Amino acid sequence: MNYPRPGRKLNACAGSQQGLTLIELMVALVVGLLIVAAMSMLFAGSSRSRREVELSADVIENGRYALDVLNRELSQTGFYGSLVTPVAAATAIDTPTKVATAMCLTTVANIAAWQDSLSYYAMGLRSASGANVDADPTCVARKVGTDALFVQRANTCAIGDADCQAESNSSAYLQVSECGTEYSTAATRIVVARGTSSAFTLQTKACDGATRAPKRKLVRRIYFVSAANELSYQELPISGSLPAAVVLVEGIEQMQIEYAVDSTGDGTPDTFEASPSDWTQVIGARVWLLARSSDISRNTKDAASFVLGADTTVSVAASASGNLKRRAYSTYVPFVTPKARRES
């Protein structure tokens, strides 16, 4: 007969197994499902919040970047190298109507019109209450109810400078004489001609008859908002087919512009006007942009109105399925060279 060893206790349940009852199992499943549901709701809420933050960041990034781009692009308006006072020739394009017509002249035969219009370095295309007051020129199609701006200037680098765009016969170029005897005569002060034209004979200040003055590409562009809600510009060549518009920033729904007018000639804005009577007095532009998100927002479902300019209110209707996040931005861009000309 076997006896238990001293100090060892017998287990009354030795060899037996115990499991969960059906009620205990059901309770455990319910608790587990509640925990999973709570975690799912937490995750879904976190995802929605993150998405809304991303949409807001998208709007802020688009708006701020658009302002930065316009500041860099428009501040150079009216720069013509060493040309102090751009004066039109005898056959001057001296009215806004003529300038508007000349915007889209992209044939070599009309290059004289480009030179005649140099005194109009900026000119706006107006809109009001969901319509275009000024008809679009043939070379651009803007979103209805948005403003557009035509500008022209010389390139900041001269042909032959490092990293400067190569000369092309599809572009027009500006040469300004630096020789006193040439510059003092309007007929020999500047040359606007196509690419490698033989007309570029103006001299540097050496006046030695051999050293040529710098030659710069003449840049003519129209900045606008497209029907696809993209801030873009249309480059205007002197020959060849019209290139595709260049998209600068996506997610820009509206642009309104007021112009700084210096009527006293001291380089300081006297008034801000949506449609100046004399575009040659414009020395800057106050730009309003309305940026929007790329996708709908669950937190934005109400109609909204945005004041873009002194007299322009843009209304956005609510949508039953959600709306887009929007944010208005504004900046003032001085036209540095025209402003400096008048200050001196």
Write a three-state SS string for 236-262: CCCCCCCCCCEEEEECEEEEEEEEEEC
Domain extent, residue 293, equals: 50-343
Around Cβ 267, how many Cβ atoms within 10 Å? 15
Model pLDDT, residue 238: 82
C-alpha atoms less than 13 angstroms from C-alpha of 30 in its C-beta half-sphere: 6
Model pLDDT, residue 14: 52
> Three-class SS of residue 64?
helix
Q: What is the phi/psi pair of residue 139, to 5°?
A: -95, 0
Q: Give me the residues paired with residue 333 across strands.
A: 285
> Three-class SS of residue 37?
helix
Distances (CA, A) of 139 to 102, 115, 151, 193, 244: 11, 19, 14, 21, 10
* Residue 4 lies inside a defined structural domain of this protein: no
Contact 117, 88 (CB under 8 A): yes
* Residue 15 lies inside a defined structural domain of this protein: no
* Residue 215 lies inside a defined structural domain of this protein: yes
Model pLDDT, residue 293: 87
* Residue 109 lies inside a defined structural domain of this protein: yes
* Residue 40 lies inside a defined structural domain of this protein: no
Model pLDDT, residue 271: 94
Q: Is the dihedral of CA 81, 180, 283, 114 positive or negative?
A: negative
Number of helices and strands (H, E) in the chain?
5, 13
Q: What is the phi/psi pair of residue 212, to 5°?
A: -90, 145
* Residue 242 lies inside a defined structural domain of this protein: yes
Residue closest to 166 by CA, chosen among 220, 215, 228, 97? 215
* Residue 126 lies inside a defined structural domain of this protein: yes
Counting the structural domains of the chain, the total is 1
Model pLDDT, residue 196: 82
Structure letter (DSSP) for residue 320: T
Mean pLDDT in runs of 10 for the chain (344 residues)? 54 58 81 82 68 81 94 94 76 55 69 81 85 85 92 93 89 92 88 88 92 93 95 88 92 94 93 89 95 79 81 75 84 94 83
Helix, strand, coil fractions of the chain, as percent rounded to 5:
25, 30, 45
Burial class (CB in 10 A: 0-12, 13-18, 19+), 45: exposed
Alpha-carbon span 222 to 234, nearest angstrom? 5
* Residue 206 lies inside a defined structural domain of this protein: yes
Length of the chain: 344
Contact 301, 323 (CB under 8 A): yes
